[in-house]
Amino acid sequence: MNETLPPVPALPATQNAIQIVGPGQLVHNRAKPVPVPGPTQLIVKVEAVGICFSDTKLLHAFTSHPRKSDVLAGLDPAALAENPSYVPGDRPTVPGHECAGRIVAVGDDVRRHRAGERVLVQTDYRHLPTATSNAAFGYNFEGGLQEYVLLDERMIIEPGTGERFLIPVDEEPSGSAVALLEPWACVEASYASRQRAKLAPGGRLLVVADTGHAIEGLAPLLAAVPPAATIAVLADEAQRLALGAIADPGGPGIELKGGLDDLPGESFDDVIYFGADAEVIERLQAHLAPRGVIDVVLGGKAIGRPVAVDVGRVHYDLTRWVGTPGRSALDGYAIAPADGELRDDDRVAVIGAAGPMGFMHVIRTATCGHSGIALVAIDIDDARLAHLAGIAAPLAAEHGVRVEFVNGRTTNVEPGFSYVAVMVPAPAIVAQAIELAGEGCRLNLFAGFALGTRAALDLDALIAKRGYLLGTSGSEIPDMKTVIGKLERGELDTNISVDAITGMEGVKEALAAVETRTSGGKIVVYPALHELGMIRLSELAVRFPTVAAGLRDGRWTRAAEEALLAAAAEGGGG
């Protein structure tokens, strides 16, 4: 890392900022005050920000977004009150969580950060819970779609590890390349995410059994990882005797309940259901704690109808679905992989492949390094597919990956995939993903389904195929460091995904392009450019020929970024 830090500029009194002031209400504030940092606070001057589909969800949900609510723990309330960037509830907020910048001012008591450091912002404050999620930069704390953003050092040091949420980065990459490390880290996290094939250590277990279903395979699960508490809802005496024989005499015992109605508000790390009643399954998922696993043991029977599965919880709460057509609960847990990573000889489908995040999944798959990979990139927009093919096909060929680019609306896709990644937040697409799945398929619900979004899924088919539902939201510091390493070693060019650039005046258009899925890649905002509207890279040669000269094979580069900022400076700020 370069230890020679650039000079620190003086702070202006006001700045340009994009603010969400109500549901669907976005304003360009040209005179937002620049805060003066307190003793434990610091100011980051924003270089570049990527637009994310999640920004559109916050725009529409506003106060109902789970990350826009109050922080409930993890930080002294006095520290929150002292922070002008803390804006829960109906206070206007600044979106933008894909952010690169430079620290330009620090308070007297700041110890871990220095003025002049260039940083990537890790945005997901998992140590600061809200009622149904956690705090985050660009949500209940103001984000990067402004020229200067204030942070408090007390909340951007990870408890336990001491890691910084402002991660130092090298001076060499462009601002856009650094900002786009955040979405690439989210993609990385979806593959690196650890899964579990056993009960949660020290967790709470719920066992439910319907009439005629034997309790089998539970003893080895309990012996391997004894839960702290077990509650059971049983249908007959044989089940009670079977469960009683399993209980550890020296353990906490098993508490019997008369029915599901006796479980109001209770949540469990593991739910094991011996039965095949769709209505019961739909009720049980409400009792899953975040990161909880539900194991559906069909016992040779069929559910017989689609089950309304909360796919928003799979994405945001990291809940997991396993099951078996047989009688043993152990067989359900056995299908869980160690992680979400690809394997040799995987046949991979990416649904929504030509959108900004699908693009990244395709590129990662094409360059993953596993042998025998076959990839089908599925979208419904021929122009975007052609754009994706022009970039991804040469990379796939270079890495020995067989790849097809398919319009799913006009071309039949043969099922049998061992990995399906879903980019489109439409419940019907998840049902289609199960149809495409083959034996032992992992279905990665990467799309940001809102909490409470239910998809009618054929769990009979999913369980018969030994399919595994997983999903992730955001990233963690190790994921960020992984992609920083790839960028600095030249293994990853995050700018490969840039489709358009804009200043502050074009943010509304950029958000609309992301929401309507007309963008074939990422849109990067430069807050220093106040009046510049959105420009697609394909339009640069006409509108900014000097900037277009800096492109490399049509792709965004540091040279193009420098030319854009220079041209804007000559024109009086864009």
pLDDT per residue as tens digits for the range 153-199: 999 999 999 999 999 999 999 999 999 999 999 999 999 999 999 99
CA distance 443 to 467: 7
Query: What is the C-alpha to C-alpha distance for residues 407 and 475, in angstroms, rounded to an integer?
Result: 30
Parallel, antiparallel or unpaired: strands 454-457 and 124-129: unpaired
User: What residues make up the domain containing 60?
Assistant: 14-193+477-538
Please indicate, yes or no, if residue 574 is contained in any of the structural domains.
no
> Positive or negative CA dihedral for 336, 341, 346, 352?
positive
Q: Strand, helix or coil at 192?
A: helix
DSSP string, 417-466: EEEEEE-S--HHHHHHHHHHEEEEEEEEE-S-PPTT-EEEE-HHHHHHTT
pLDDT, averaged across the chain: 94
Q: How confident is the model at residue 567 (pLDDT cuts 50, 70, 90)?
A: confident
**27 CB-contact burial (10 Å; exposed 0-12 / middle 13-18 / buried 19+):** middle
Tens digits of per-residue pLDDT, 197-238?
999 999 999 999 999 999 999 999 999 999 999 999 999 999
pLDDT digits (tens, 9 = 90+) for 47-83: 999 999 999 999 999 999 989 999 999 999 999 999 9
Q: Length of the chain in residues, anyone?
A: 574
Q: Are residues 461 and 483 in the same domain?
A: no
Q: Say which residue the tokens 């799979």 belong to.
A: 314
* 137 and 18 in a common domain: yes
Question: How much of the chain exceeds pLDDT 70, in percent?
Answer: 96
3-class secondary structure, 148:
strand
Tokens for 46?
């924003």
pLDDT for 60: 95
User: Could you give phi then psi for residue 51, rounded to 5 degrees?
Assistant: -85, 135
Residues 324 and 370 in one domain: no
Residue 339: inside a domain, yes or no?
A: no
The pLDDT-based confidence of 6 (bands split at 50, 70, 90) is low
The answer to whether residue 554 sits within a structural domain is no
Q: What is the pLDDT of residues 469-504, one digit of tens each?
A: 999 988 999 999 999 999 999 999 999 999 999 999
The DSSP letter of residue 550 is T
What pLDDT does residue 7 have? Answer: 65
Decide the pairing of beta strands 374-379 and 254-257.
unpaired
For residue 520, pLDDT over 90 is answered with no
Distance CA 341, CA 364 (A): 11
**What string of H, E and C letters represents the secondary structure of 224-259?**
HCCCCEEEEECCCHHHHHHHHHHCCCCCCCEEEECC
Q: How far apart are CA 10 and CA 278, in angstroms?
A: 63
CB contact set of 245 (below 8 Å; sequence gap of 6+):
none
Average pLDDT over residues 35-50: 97
The CB density around residue 172, as the number of other CB atoms within 10 Å, is: 12
Domain boundary among 420, 455, 470: 470
Residue 410, CA atoms < 13 Å, CB-side half-sphere: 7
For residues 230 and 200, the answer to whether their CB atoms sit within 8 Å is no
Q: What per-residue confidence (pLDDT) applies to 384?
A: 92
Radius of gyration (C-alpha) of the chain in whole angstroms = 25
Q: If 0-12 CB within 10 Å is exposed, 13-18 middle and 19+ buried, where does residue 186 land?
A: buried
Both 156 and 238 in a single domain? no
Within 13 Å, how many C-alpha atoms sit on residue 335's CB side?
31
pLDDT digits (tens, 9 = 90+) for 97-154: 999 999 999 999 999 999 999 999 999 999 999 998 899 999 999 999 999 999 999 9
Same domain, 59 and 173: yes
**Number of domains making up the chain:** 3
pTM for the whole thing? Answer: 0.90
Q: Are both 33 and 137 inside the same structural domain?
A: yes
For residue 262, what is the DSSP state? Answer: G
Q: Based on the domain organization, do 150 and 36 belong to the same domain? A: yes
Using DSSP bridges, classify how beta strands 134-136 and 437-445 pair: parallel, antiparallel or unpaired.
unpaired
Q: What is the largest CA-CA distance in the chain?
A: 83
Decide if 51 is inside a domain. Answer: yes
* Kind and range of the H or E run holding 333: helix 329-333
* Pair 184, 293 in one domain: no
% residues pLDDT > 90 (the chain): 90
Cα–Cα nearest to 389, from 403, 402, 399: 403
3-state SS class at 5: coil
pLDDT at position 573, please?
47
φ, ψ (nearest 5 deg) of residue 175: -60, -40
Same domain (yes/no): 360, 466: yes
**What is the CATH classification number for the domain harbouring 151?**
3.90.180.10
Contacts of 546 (CB under 8 A, 6+ apart): 563, 567
Q: Classify 364 in phi/psi space as left (phi over 0), alpha (psi -120 to 50) or beta.
A: alpha
Residue pLDDT, tens place only, 281-330: 999 999 999 999 999 999 999 999 999 999 999 998 999 999 999 999 99
Across residues 9-31, what is the average pLDDT?
Answer: 95
Q: Does some domain include residue 419?
A: yes
Q: Which tokens is 498 given?
A: 């840039």
Q: Is residue 409's pLDDT more than 60?
A: yes
Tell me the C-alpha to C-alpha distance, in Å, between residue 384 and each of 54, 350, 380: 21, 14, 9
Report yes or no on 181 lying in a domain. yes
Give a yes or no: residue 6 inside a domain: no
Say whether both 181 and 38 belong to one domain.
yes
Residue 238 CA to residue 235 CA, distance in Å, equals 9
Asked if residue 329 belongs to a domain, the reply is yes
Residues 454 and 493 in one domain: no
> 182, 50 in Cβ contact below 8 A?
yes
Is residue 439 within 8 Å of 466, Cβ to Cβ?
yes
Name the nearest CA neighbour of 31 among 137, 139, 147.
147
73 plus 185 within the same structural domain = yes
**CA-to-CA distance for 520 and 552, rounded, in angstroms?**
18
What are the φ and ψ backbone dihedral angles of 126, each rounded to 5 degrees? -70, -15
Which of 303, 333, 363 is the endpoint of a domain?
Answer: 333
The pLDDT tens digits for 451-469 are 899 999 999 999 999 999 9
**317: domain CATH number?**
3.40.50.720
User: Has residue 349 got a pLDDT over 70?
Assistant: yes
Is 80 exceeded by the pLDDT of residue 276? Answer: yes
Q: Which of 62, 145, 52 is nearest to 357 (CA)?
A: 52
